[in-house]
A and B are shown apart, each in its own frame.
Chain A
């Protein structure tokens, strides 16, 4: 019986909206804006989440990076800077001692690389020395060509594997494989290109050229640099064990006495999750504030139109009561009307936001490459959330006018002209 009345109320709601189209449209404008905020915020967050997830996948969820530096930046910066370098000897010792990990690769980095090709000079590209096993880590996975072999690695051949940014910069029209470039005065044959890995958050990881470790030493020298030890656990399940062993070995190698703090950092994706939570929270914070305000305005709009509607339809309420409508029935009628107004607002918002999302995701990355994490499709769960929120807003905004309607005296209401 209640269902039946609600069904009737929905029909009535559409009829009364048809009777006052412009007024209904204006009243629900606030709700449209509010819901649009919710949807767009959710859409951006979903994009950010995906960007972060992608980043984590690049870094590798089962990867540990032993480094002098703390990547997440949680530690005292001065203390970190005062740490001793992780030397190549320590890295190779570590590799020998480590048993539980699948792959261990030392990594050296040179930031001021000067790359020349066809008379042009490109700077700011990171030159990294790694061993052939780097191909087994997520960062070293190959897009085209190949990674250098164990033989080339041992021999210290002048071969390199380039990242997507230098590839696009130096060879805008081809992929550059088979070409020879000059890195700090030496000729290198490009034998492969790694997959694009960066997202908006970490696109520097693509601005890199990998060369064999031995070649790196002979080009940039060997002393006074700190190495990163890349440790691939092999699976997330074994990460715990590998982390424990890593810490133990490093403490032994670095002669840390019991009770003393580590003078190295074990970096992993987990460390980034924390800092990402902060970004996420601030997006939410701003969004929630704006959403709250626009919903407040929206609710006042809906409440206003409902009061007008109740007054205008006093006679109708009287008639309905005379033929047997209970307070509850009248209450539902007006609540449903307010909710329907808001649901229609939600649908309109969803259409508008879908258009915005599609256009933004299609055209914005053409100008700002970092925005390519945006999805052209608004997830359906946001539609569900928007609908629920809009029903709640409608019911809340319609409550006082509906109670007033329900409590009208039938005799007075019938007399109203």
Chain B
């Protein structure tokens, strides 16, 4: 794995939503680059366009105009199915509300992306078990989400994000539904993942959380307001 290798290159992307008669400019020309093994926080108040940017970075959505190069591939004009494949293989999502399948066990939840990757059962179970071990939940693999605490649920979600060995981990307000103590534990886990070589993109509106990242990008009104190195990251 090369250091300084460019993973994300975004050039002048805009996103316009049609709300009835009105056009809403969610992004008005954003450019940024993220290299491998960076730990970036994208910050901004609600309505700033950070969620839109996150959706585009996460290949859940495509920009109205502009270019998005992900690991050398132009993904700004891919079809829904091609985007699904990129999400499956290269992006690991961690959400504020965990977004686990309620009826499935922790192991099954972590296994899910591997099913869509077409891996066989034996391989899936092995990888899912390993991912759960990495987040410290090996003793909880048969538990369903409602039998787990908030912090444990988020760990399962992180294991699910890690299991495909993605190029980036995209975390959207990962501590938003957790108490501050548990939130800290989760942030420690992210720091650890970063040290292991993962690229982490954190989307948050909390200054406290953003300060864990090594670079902070501030968005306001659909534009990048500031993009600066955090000289003193926590952990």
Contacts and interface: CB of A to CB of B under 8 A. Distances in A.
Interface in A1-50: 1, 4-5, 8, 15-16, 19
B229 interface: no
A410 B61 CA distance: 9
Contacts of A322: 58, 60, 87, 93, 99
Contacts of A320: 112, 116
A19 B112 CA distance: 19
B113 A319 contact: no
Interface stretch (B30-38, B77-85, B132-140, B196-204): B77-85
Interface in B45-62: 55, 58, 60-61
Interface stretch (A215-223, A247-255, A270-278, A324-332): A324-332
B89 A324 contact: yes
Contact of A326 (B60, B85, B103): B85
Nearest to A414: B99
A54 interface: no
A245 interface: no
A327 B104 CA distance: 21
Contacts of A414: 60, 95, 99
Contacts of B99: 315, 318-319, 322, 414
A326 B84 contact: yes
B55 A4 contact: no
A118 interface: no
Given A321-B84, A410-B60, A411-B55, A326 B116 contact: yes
B85 A15 contact: no
A327 B87 CA distance: 13
Contacts of A4: 115, 118, 120
Interface of A: 1, 4-5, 8, 15-16, 19, 315-316, 318-329, 410-411, 414
24 contacts: A4-B115, A5-B115, A5-B116, A15-B103, A19-B103, A318-B99, A321-B87, A322-B60, A323-B112, A323-B113, A323-B116, A324-B84, A324-B113, A324-B116, A324-B164, A325-B84, A325-B88, A326-B80, A326-B85, A326-B116, A329-B116, A410-B60, A411-B55, A414-B99
Given A322-B58, A325-B84, A329-B116, 11 more contacts: A315-B99, A316-B101, A316-B102, A319-B99, A323-B116, A323-B160, A324-B87, A324-B113, A325-B116, A327-B84, A410-B60
